[in-house]
Amino acid sequence: MQFGMMDGYGYGVAGYGMLIFGFIFWILILIGLILLIKYLWEGGAKKEESALELLKKRYARGEISKEEFEEKKKDLV
């Protein structure tokens, strides 16, 4: 019995190609899921700035004077 370009199961080269592409497809799906979970995990873990950090930024931008900064800092600490 002669099969030509096909193996004993009748899939031939295209069958092996589909097997390889299927494997690559599932690896890409797995990588995508891992990246999605990582993104969601880090996004949910964002820290909120403390009042002192906000006060320092306001002072650095010149929104409040040194006296106001020191006074408000004493209230926070």
What's at 67, amino acid-wise? E
Which alpha helices (DSSP H) does the chain contain, by range? 12-44, 51-61, 66-76
Judged against a pLDDT cut of 80, whether residue 69 lies above it is answered with yes
pLDDT score for 44: 60
pLDDT (0 to 100) of residue 57: 92
What pTM was computed for the model? 0.44
Task: Give me the pLDDT at residue 40, please.
Answer: 86
What token pair was written down for 28? 């890409």
How far apart CA 28 and CA 34 sit, in angstroms, is 10
Q: Whole-number mean pLDDT of the chain? A: 82
Higher pLDDT, 66 or 9: 66
**Contact assessment for residue 9 and residue 15, using Cβ atoms and an 8 Å cutoff:** yes
Query: Two tokens at 13?
Result: 């080269």
